[in-house]
Amino acid sequence: MEAFLLEAATFLLRWLHVVAAIAWIGESFYFVALDRGLKTPKQPQPGLAAESWSVHGGGFYHKQKYLPAPAQLPEELHWSKWKAYTTWLS
């Protein structure tokens, strides 16, 4: 029974690693495509390096890239690090 549980645990951990790695690589490709699609803003603002408009699923998205980071950051900030951490830790 112990051998079965150990084998099942290693199987699940292996699949966690594979799924996390696929998500990490996909997110990396998304950010490469996002950066390549950014254009110089038509109305320059301090710190605004580039921007892009897109549509997906009926919603319009206005993406902006700031260099350096703006003085005021939003309270809820999405960090793109958990997929990489999960891949490395598994």
pLDDT single digits (tens) 14-66: 999 999 999 999 999 999 999 999 999 988 888 899 999 999 999 999 999 99
Q: Residue 60: in which H helix or E strand, if any?
A: strand 59-66
pTM for this model (two decimals)? 0.75
The sign of the CA dihedral 35, 38, 40, 46 is negative
Question: Is the predicted pLDDT of residue 80 greater than 90, yes or no?
Answer: no
Confirm if 59 and 50 have CB atoms less than 8 A apart.
Answer: no
3-class DSSP state of 38: coil
Q: Which residues contact 58 (CB under 8 A, 6 or more apart)?
A: none
